[in-house]
């Protein structure tokens, strides 16, 4: 059995490839050519919450299940808030073929998903990218989004001044782009053409009435029933697109909230895969704003895991041949 660590995944998964794989996974799922059963949640009273997320793209050699464990108190014992492990099995026999460290893979597939959505939903002439959050998701989103649009400038907001300054310094150095920190979420909301919220917030991170006409917002952080990253005002103004309608209605506070408040209707929500495969259409007017809300689909993890394993297995075989 292969043990695939974060460094392996980073090395084997170029960002443009991640975007292609994620786009294909969405299309295959929308065409009924993949399995993405509802994720299962198990919450330990006073302990971790765990998600079990199996997925498979028909015809691929492996089935993957991601097991996510979340405890906001973990940093107090020097552990990450979220622990992610992906187990892969031979699709025919069921033999376990790999255990994959899932943090980087998840951040990359989430950013790739946002890039796919932004590519299809945002105007071609966007110039300013606004980022809320400075964690691993934010870090992967900036270079991934630069692959689908030419930004002049990145605006970053985080409540923690030190973190947003470090993030800006690292991003501008690594990516050769102007990154400006902002001490107000309002400024980021007002000045950005594309926004990413990559936070663990339970309450909206900006005032939705401030966002410019024609802008596109990706809300990809908190995705539990009680959590909100965007407010109802913004959802009401937007064309709303999600990664999975079923999952959104079951678990995303940013969708459930506005529906409950009567601001949006279930029937108006679009699914990214259905847009990509041409079954649903987004009509753009210059005054429209768009919202892409995602909580992450197991089938994206399965698609990328299968790709990474495909790259590793020949290398492992070659090692064996040399040994």
Note the residues at the interface with a copy of itself (CB under 8 A).
Answer: 35, 37-38, 40-48, 50, 52, 54-56, 58, 63, 65, 67, 69-71, 74, 77, 79, 83, 85, 87, 89-96
Query: Residue 109 and residue 146: Cα distance in Å, rounded?
Result: 15
Query: Residue 321 and residue 129: Cα distance in Å, rounded?
Result: 48
Bridge-partner residues for 239, per DSSP?
A: 290
Q: Token pair for residue 319?
A: 């090692």
Give min distance, CB of 312 to a copy of itself, in A.
20
Give min distance, CB of 209 to a copy of itself, in A.
39
Could you tell me which residues come within 8 angstroms of residue 255 by beta carbon, excluding any fewer than 6 positions away? 235, 240, 242, 248, 249, 264, 269, 293
Nearer to a copy of itself, 36 or 197 (CB): 36
Give min distance, CB of 260 to a copy of itself, in A.
24
The two beta strands, 82-90 and 96-101, are: antiparallel
Give min distance, CB of 203 to a copy of itself, in A.
25
Nearer to a copy of itself, 81 or 203 (CB): 81
Nearer to a copy of itself, 155 or 299 (CB): 299
Nearer to a copy of itself, 5 or 96 (CB): 96
Give min distance, CB of 255 to a copy of itself, in A.
22
Nearer to a copy of itself, 5 or 160 (CB): 5
Instruction: Give the CA radius of gyration of the chain.
Output: 19
Give min distance, CB of 41 to a copy of itself, in A.
7
Nearer to a copy of itself, 60 or 232 (CB): 60
Instruction: Please report the DSSP string for 189-238 in residue order.
Output: HHH-SEEEE----SS-SS-TTSSPTT-EEEE-S--STT--SS-HHHHHHE
Nearer to a copy of itself, 102 or 135 (CB): 102
Burial class of residue 250 in the structure, from the number of CB atoms within 10 Å of its CB (0-12 exposed, 13-18 middle, 19+ buried)? middle
Could you tell me which residues come within 8 angstroms of residue 73 by beta carbon, excluding any fewer than 6 positions away? none
Instruction: Please report the DSSP string for 102-137 in residue order.
Output: -HHHHHHHHHHHHHHHHHHHS-TT--EEEEE--SHH
Give min distance, CB of 313 to a copy of itself, in A.
18
Nearer to a copy of itself, 56 or 237 (CB): 56
Q: Token pair for residue 146?
A: 């630069």
Could you tell me which residues come within 8 angstroms of residue 20 by beta carbon, excluding any fewer than 6 positions away? none
Give min distance, CB of 147 to a copy of itself, in A.
31
Burial class of residue 235 in the structure, from the number of CB atoms within 10 Å of its CB (0-12 exposed, 13-18 middle, 19+ buried)? buried
């Amino acid at each position: 059995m292969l043990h695939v660590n974060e460094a392996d995944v980073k090395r084997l998964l170029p960002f443009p490839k991640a975007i292609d794989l994620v786009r294909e996974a969405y299309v295959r799922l929308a065409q009924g050519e993949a399995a993405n059963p509802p994720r299962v949640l198990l919450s330990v009273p006073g302990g971790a919450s765990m998600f079990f997320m199996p997925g498979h793209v028909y015809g691929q050699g492996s089935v993957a299940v991601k097991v996510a464990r979340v405890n906001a108190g973990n940093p107090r014992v020097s552990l990450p808030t979220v622990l992610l492990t992906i187990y892969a099995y031979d699709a025919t026999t069921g033999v376990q073929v790999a255990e994959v460290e899932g943090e980087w893979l998840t951040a990359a597939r989430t950013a790739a998903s946002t890039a796919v959505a932004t590519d299809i939903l945002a105007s071609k002439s966007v110039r300013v990218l606004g980022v809320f959050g400075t964690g691993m998701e934010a870090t992967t989103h900036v270079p991934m989004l630069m692959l689908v649009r030419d930004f002049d400038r990145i605006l970053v907001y985080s409540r923690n001044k030190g973190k947003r300054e470090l993030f800006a310094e690292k991003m501008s150095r690594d990516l050769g782009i102007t990154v400006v920190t902002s001490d107000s979420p309002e400024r980021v909301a007002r000045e950005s053409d594309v926004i990413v919220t990559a936070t663990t917030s339970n309450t909206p991170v900006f005032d939705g009435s401030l966002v410019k006409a024609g802008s596109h917002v990706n809300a990809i952080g908190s995705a539990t029933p009680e959590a909100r990253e965007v407010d109802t005002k913004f959802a009401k103004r937007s064309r709303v697109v999600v990664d999975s309608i079923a999952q959104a209605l079951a678990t995303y506070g940013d969708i459930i909230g506005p529906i409950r408040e009567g601001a949006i209707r279930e029937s108006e929500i679009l699914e990214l895969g259905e847009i990509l495969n041409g079954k649903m259409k987004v009509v753009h007017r210059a005054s429209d704003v768009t919202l892409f809300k995602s909580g992450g689909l197991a089938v994206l993890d399965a698609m990328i895991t299968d790709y990474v394993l495909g790259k590793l297995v020949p290398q492992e075989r070659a090692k064996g041949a040399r040994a």
